[in-house]
Amino acid sequence: MSNGLVVIIAVLVFVIVTIAKGVRIVPQGQEWVVEELGKFKKVLQPGLHVIVPYYQDVRYKVVTKDLILDVQEQEVITRDNAVILTNAISFIKVTDPVKAVYGVVDYAEAIRNLIMTTLRSIVGEMELDQALSSRDKIKARLRESIADEAVDWGLTVKSVEIQDIKPSPSMQKAMELQASAERERKAMVTRAEGEKQSAILQAEARLESAKRDAAAQVTLAEASAESIRRVTVAVGEHTIPVSYILGEKYINALRQLSESDNSKLVVLPADLTEAVRGLFPRSK
């Protein structure tokens, strides 16, 4: 092969390589950052572009589609010294490729660490119960807190979602023990309250029964007094009818005593005739 042919082939290869390096097609969803001798020159939008080979170079290829950043799970200590586990996911978009590539070394990693740090700070200001029940509030504060930093890096934070927020295994066990103790305490209080009410009702019942017994005794005494008064008025000086009635009641009482199933022994006066006769006045 002659030297002339070698030169021609070398020139053709150089031309092809130069054209390949000078003609660039930027795909949709990307923007390319061009540097000129190591200094920022321009940003290539999607489409066909021509740059000066060897003098200009595509230094960064930035994806302008929405990026999904998964924030790893981390332990966070709340204000009341409880340990919880939380992680998040963020959706960001590069709106200024120049700031994104020159403002920070790795904007994706920077946003991820910023979210982790801010999340620890926000949850650290809350107590355990508040942190577990304030997912939307945490999300709103988190997005607001990182928005300014993201703008400085040429990013827009479209959304930040709290994937999970839960107590650590040891904390969860402690909460279960606490809940069990609280249920037992409420049960004891309920039993004590029931016993108290029962004792009060029983005391009130005894008091009411005593009042009614007293009232009944007073009524019976008044009735007896009235009965005696009327008998006294009705009998006057005539005692025979009264003696007859007393004798009849005496005999009936003896008969009932003898007929009772519980009575094993009936004691009668030695002289029953004289006892009965004694109930009646002797005629003068």
DSSP string, 41-62: EEEEPSEEEE--TTTEEEEEEE
71 shares its domain with 96: yes
Residue 123 near residue 138, CB atoms below 8 Å:
yes
How many Å apart are CA 258 and CA 264, to the nearest integer? 9
143 shares its domain with 71: yes
> Tokens 């309250």 map to which residue?
193
Residue 21 near residue 34, CB atoms below 8 Å:
no
Residue 115 near residue 160, CB atoms below 8 Å:
yes
Residue 67 near residue 157, CB atoms below 8 Å:
no
221 shares its domain with 263: no
Per the structure, the complete domain to which residue 9 belongs is given by 3-63
55 shares its domain with 92: no
How many Å apart are CA 67 and CA 118, to the nearest integer? 20
54 shares its domain with 83: no
147 shares its domain with 181: no
The encoded tokens of residue 136 equal 């939307």
Residue 146 near residue 92, CB atoms below 8 Å:
no
pLDDT at 260: 62
Q: Is 127 helix (H, G, I), strand (E, B) or coil?
A: coil
- Pairing state between β 39-44 and 56-63: unpaired
pLDDT at 282: 53
77 shares its domain with 127: yes
pLDDT at 284: 46
Final residue before a domain boundary, out of 18, 44, 63: 63
124 shares its domain with 76: yes
- Pairing state between β 39-44 and 30-36: antiparallel
Number of H helices, E strands in the chain: 8, 8
The encoded tokens of residue 264 equal 């094993």
Encoded amino acid at 232, one letter: T
Ordered alpha helix ranges (H), 103-134 = 107-124, 128-133
Domain count along the chain: 4
Q: pLDDT per position in the chain (284 positions), as tens?
A: 567 777 788 878 888 888 888 888 999 999 999 998 889 999 999 999 888 888 888 899 999 999 998 888 888 888 888 888 888 898 999 999 999 999 888 888 999 999 999 988 898 888 888 888 888 888 888 888 888 888 889 999 888 888 888 887 776 676 667 777 777 888 888 888 888 888 888 888 888 888 888 888 888 888 777 777 776 776 666 666 666 666 666 677 767 766 666 655 555 555 555 555 555 555 44
End-to-end CA distance of the chain: 188
How many Å apart are CA 84 and CA 238, to the nearest integer? 104
CATH number for the domain harbouring residue 129:
3.30.479.30
127 shares its domain with 80: yes
The encoded tokens of residue 95 equal 């709106």
pLDDT at 93: 92
- Pairing state between β 83-94 and 67-77: antiparallel
99 shares its domain with 175: no
106 shares its domain with 159: yes
107 shares its domain with 150: yes
Residue 155 near residue 95, CB atoms below 8 Å:
yes
> Tokens 């650590």 map to which residue?
168
Measured in whole angstroms, the distance separating CA 280 from the mean position of its chain's CA atoms is 90
